[in-house]
Structure 1
Amino acid sequence: MPTLERLRADHAEALFAFERDNRAYFARTVPDRGDAYFAHFADRHGALLAEQEEGVCHFHVVLGDAGEIAARVNLVDVDPADGSAELGYRVAERYAGRGLATAAVREVCGAAAAAYGLRALTAVTHEDHLASRRVLERTGFTATGRFLLDGRPAVRHRRSLEGLLP
């Protein structure tokens, strides 16, 4: 059974493999991270951990049965003033379509309220990324607006965490 964990320094090698091995798959639905991301991955990983330590972001990985990274679910741009953050996630191609994203997003929503004290989450997905939109709908997000993202129609979603607060 997959396990959600907060991002740590010792996830670096597995996270690099996850991003590298799924690069082409991810690029079908979201902009590619670019060669510099991979060339300087160790520095980027360290920067993410520093942001997490500061409480600006909360990064998570989902470990598959063999200990490999099956997905990542992140809360970025934490705004302590209004208790919100933006949710982002990606699932490895071999785990897609199995409900992993839905389960992981539900778990992170609970952690966002209970462990991080957040009151609301936002998420953005391209309009034609139906699988991602379904994950958001299944986990209590509501569409709040449409706009262009990277030149493509996108949908902004929001979810209150009030019912999940301790």
Structure 2
Amino acid sequence: MTVLERLRPDHAPALLDFERQNRAYFAASIPDRGDSYFTGFAELHAELLAEQAAGMHHFHVLADAGGAVLGRVNLVGVAGGSAELGYRMAEVAAGRGLATSGVRRVCALAFEEYGLTALRAETTMDNAASRAVLGRTGFVEVGAITLMGKPGLRFTRDLSEAGR
């Protein structure tokens, strides 16, 4: 069983473990965060929490019963009733439906708790798993983009009552 929790200060150790354990796995499909992310993690975590408290972003972790982080589902750049969705799952959690479940839960929170009416997302064409998650969770393709030097797609999701 997994729980979706809003990011808190006490998540820092488990979140850092998650990022370290999955660094190479993530770097295979998205740009690496760089060494400074890991050496300055405590300060970065505090900055993110301050930005969340200011309403700029909504960060979430998916954790197992023991508190280990299995994934992140974030809403960034909150403005004008919308935000951009981003997510990443641990390698050990891949293919278990956790990304789909987490995105669905965050979409509900976005509308019910955060008052958002629309979300945006982007992924590269070669990331079939991410495209599948977006399709299963009600996102619709709205155009082609270049992302990290690769062909990609932009998606949106209406969070109105009819769209949830």
TM > 0.5:
yes
Runs of at least 4 residues off by over 2 Å: none
**Alignment equivalent of 2:119, drawn from 105, 121, 126:** 121
**Alignment equivalent of 1:156, drawn from 127, 144, 154:** 154
Partner of 1:90: 88
> Aligned partners of 1:163, 1:97: CA distance in 2, in Å?
29
User: What is the Cα deviation at residue 43 of structure 1?
Assistant: 0.6
Q: How many residues align?
A: 164
User: What is the Cα deviation at residue 137 of structure 1?
Assistant: 0.1
CA separation of 1:116 and 1:165: change in aligned 2, threshold 3 A: farther
> Aligned partners of 1:155, 1:76: CA distance in 2, in Å?
18
Query: What does residue range 68-83 of structure 1 map to in structure 2 within 5 Å?
Result: 68-79=68-79, 81=80, 83=81
> Aligned partners of 1:124, 1:165: CA distance in 2, in Å?
19
Does structure 1 residue 137 correspond to structure 2 residue 101? no
| Structural RMSD (CA) | 1.3
TM-score (norm 1): 0.96
TM-score (norm 2): 0.97
> Aligned partners of 1:149, 1:98: CA distance in 2, in Å?
26
CA separation of 1:165 and 1:114: change in aligned 2, threshold 3 A: farther
Structure 1: stretches of 5+ with no match in the other structure = none
Query: Quick one: which amino acid aligns to residue 101 of structure 1?
Result: A
Partner of 1:17: 17
